[in-house]
Amino acid sequence: TRQAIGYPLVFPSDEFYLIAGQEPPSYDEFSEIPQIENGVGMVSRFYWGFSELLHDFPSVLPRHYRVAAITTAMGRKVIQKLIDAMNERIENLRIEALTVTNSLFGPGITVTGLLPGRDFLSAIQESPNFDLYLIPENALRPWDQRFLDDMTFQELETKANKPIRVGGSTAATFAHAALADFSPY
């Protein structure tokens, strides 16, 4: 227990908190996050440093720029606060979350790490009027940049014929990916 060892020993996955409509523990409450790939601590890590990040955003972009962040219903709950903050803070920027249903495992599976590449491709083809598409980093296997259906990131880019970037696993890397075309941000 926490009293005996000085830190929490067991955490449910972030999905349990989100389903219950609760905030997961703060990033500082985790002594370490050994189960991050299993969805324990991902939300807390995503928003760590978020309030400081807001001050770094540019106030205006030189042209209108539309970004689609492709995600699941659960993922949307996580990124919507950041999307709203960026849209409010940055003139000429419009980020929208495109929610997709998992075609590989069915609609009951709502975590982004289990989305196949074909679902991202379908979302892009069905919503072609964006300047950039962001996909969640955890949808790709880190060792070979493939989705669960074995499609590679390069195949997705080629088939979609649209600019696609990996959105990152933190609010900062998501924001940098969305704004990378506008140096120096």
Mind giving me the DSSP string for the chain?
Answer: -HHHHSS------HHHHHHTT-PPPPGGG-S--TTGGGTSSHHHHHHTTHHHHHTTS-SEEEEEEEEEEEE-HHHHHHHHHHHHHHHHHSEEEEEEEEE---TTT-TT---GGG--HHHHHHHHHH----SEEEE-GGGS-TTT-B-TTS-BHHHHHHHHTS-EEE--SSHHHHHHHHHTTSTT-
Give the pLDDT mean for 146-173. Answer: 93
Integer Cα distance of 21 and 168 in angstroms? 24
* Domains of the chain with CATH codes: 2-47 (no CATH), 51-179 (3.40.50)
Question: pLDDT category, 55, cuts 50, 70, 90?
Answer: confident
- What does the pLDDT look like over 63-99, one tens digit per residue? 999 999 999 988 898 889 889 999 999 999 999 999 9
In whole angstroms, give the CA distance from residue 2 to residue 102. Answer: 37
On average, the pLDDT of the chain sits at 84
Average pLDDT over residues 155-181: 92
Mean pLDDT of 132-155: 95
pLDDT for res 183 = 67
**pLDDT digit string, tens, across residues 15-48:** 656 666 767 666 566 555 555 555 555 666 666 6
